Chains A and B, each alone.
Chain A
Amino acid sequence: MMGYLVLGFAFGLLLVSFKYDWYLAPLMSLFIYAGALQFVAIGFFNAKVGFIDIAIASLFVNIRQSFYGLSFLKRFRQTTPFKKYLIFGLTDETYALLTTIKDDKKLSKRHYYFFLTALNQSYWIVGSTLGALIGSELTFNTKGLEFSLTALFVVLCIEQYKNLQNVYPFIIGFFASVLALILVPTDKMLIASILIALILLFFFKQRVEND
């Protein structure tokens, strides 16, 4: 949970370092509420990426979350009236927390889930707002701050490898990106990489699954 406060802070700081209004940080944290996607979004704003490209890229950046929902289909039963919010708030961090805790019979499950999810999002909103506000006041040299985005993905990538123990998806991702960098202009690179990677992933399905 502390993680969300600090990571949110970094997001807010990065957002205002590109001269965007501070209130976009709480706005995004309230309505989008997705760590990696919000960081990538700053890049979308900078590069003036088209709306359809944004939609497709967001879908694939966050497709891992569909997997979280699948494993919570049963556990989220009987959680009304909070169910809709629980689904909305099922981020990486919340998923990780909910999978490590056991359901306690003495506590009401739905309230417990709800408070945990809401607390997580509050930390994220507070962190990103503080980052944006403090970032707009301070004038320090932010050159290189955008590397926090890269560092975040390096960490997430390593965590993916620990779970998967399979090197093929990473090779496919790497080649798809390099190919896209060579073939298309950089503002279309993300979307092109995703499409190439999808083709490669299905082309080498047997290889990937048998590793």
Chain B
Amino acid sequence: MINYEIYIAIAIMAGVNLFTRAFPFIFFKNHEPPSAILYIEKYFPAVIMTILILYSLKDINFDVTPYGLKEIGSVLFTAVLHLSLKNYLVSIFGGTIFYMGLVQYF
């Protein structure tokens, strides 16, 4: 994107982001939200996080060596790190450094 497109994109994201935060305060001040909205709000965060993992890895080419093994290995490494140490900064940085090591030296 060129700069003015980036500014528009930032404005859109700022607006939409504020909307998601203000949404309940605008619409559900005095009455309960419909069950479909409660359902999406409860389960969709888990869905979108799974989607975002795959989305961030969408450019892997499984046809050439090492067939995405570096990425899959780093995802597993990050997950194990997070499950064992339970510190999200350690997990994010540990996982990233692990992956950078793999792609830069192997």
Whether B69 is near chain A, meaning CB under 8 Å from some CB there, is no
Whether A102 is near chain B, meaning CB under 8 Å from some CB there, is no
Whether A133 is near chain B, meaning CB under 8 Å from some CB there, is no
- The closest CB in chain B to the CB of A189 belongs to B58
Report whether A62 and B28 are in contact in the complex, using a CB–CB cutoff of 8 Å: no
Q: Chain B contact residues: over half helix, strand or loop, or mixed?
A: helix
Counting contact residues on chain A (CB < 8 A from B), the size range is 35 or more
- The closest CB in chain B to the CB of A95 belongs to B21
Report whether A155 and B88 are in contact in the complex, using a CB–CB cutoff of 8 Å: yes
Selected contact of A177 from candidates B18, B29, B55, B102, CB within 8 Å: B55
Selected contact of B47 from candidates A41, A158, A173, A186, CB within 8 Å: A173
- Given A149-B56, A189-B55, do A63 and B41 touch, yes or no (CB 8 Å)? yes
The 3 closest A-B pairs by CB, nearest first: A173-B50, A144-B100, A169-B46
Minimum Cβ distance to chain B for residue A11 (Å): 11
Considering residues B21, B54, B79, B89, which has the most beta carbons from chain A within 10 angstroms of its beta carbon? B21
- The closest CB in chain B to the CB of A142 belongs to B100
| Whole-angstrom CA separation of A181 from B53 in the bound complex | 13
- The closest CB in chain B to the CB of A160 belongs to B46
- Given A62-B16, A158-B79, do A45 and B50 touch, yes or no (CB 8 Å)? no
Selected contact of B6 from candidates A24, A36, A90, A201, CB within 8 Å: A24
Whether A114 is near chain B, meaning CB under 8 Å from some CB there, is no
Whether B64 is near chain A, meaning CB under 8 Å from some CB there, is no
Tell me the B48-81 residues at the A interface (CB within 8 Å). 48-59, 71, 74-75, 78-79
| Whole-angstrom CA separation of A123 from B14 in the bound complex | 18
Q: Chain A contact residues: over half helix, strand or loop, or mixed?
A: helix
| Whole-angstrom CA separation of A153 from B58 in the bound complex | 14
Counting contact residues on chain B (CB < 8 A from A), the size range is 35 or more
Report whether A73 and B24 are in contact in the complex, using a CB–CB cutoff of 8 Å: yes
- The closest CB in chain A to the CB of B70 belongs to A144
- The closest CB in chain A to the CB of B7 belongs to A27
- Given A144-B102, A177-B54, do A58 and B48 touch, yes or no (CB 8 Å)? no
Minimum Cβ distance to chain A for residue B46 (Å): 4
Report whether A59 and B20 are in contact in the complex, using a CB–CB cutoff of 8 Å: yes
Report whether B9 and A70 are in contact in the complex, using a CB–CB cutoff of 8 Å: no
Minimum Cβ distance to chain A for residue B68 (Å): 12
| Whole-angstrom CA separation of A70 from B22 in the bound complex | 10
Whether A88 is near chain B, meaning CB under 8 Å from some CB there, is yes
Minimum Cβ distance to chain A for residue B54 (Å): 4
Minimum Cβ distance to chain B for residue A84 (Å): 8
Report whether B22 and A148 are in contact in the complex, using a CB–CB cutoff of 8 Å: no
| Whole-angstrom CA separation of A87 from B22 in the bound complex | 6
- The closest CB in chain A to the CB of B52 belongs to A153
Selected contact of B10 from candidates A31, A64, A158, CB within 8 Å: A31
Report whether A181 and B82 are in contact in the complex, using a CB–CB cutoff of 8 Å: no
Report whether A51 and B20 are in contact in the complex, using a CB–CB cutoff of 8 Å: no
Q: Mark B20-45, 1 if CB is under 8 A from A, else 0.
A: 11111100110001001101111111
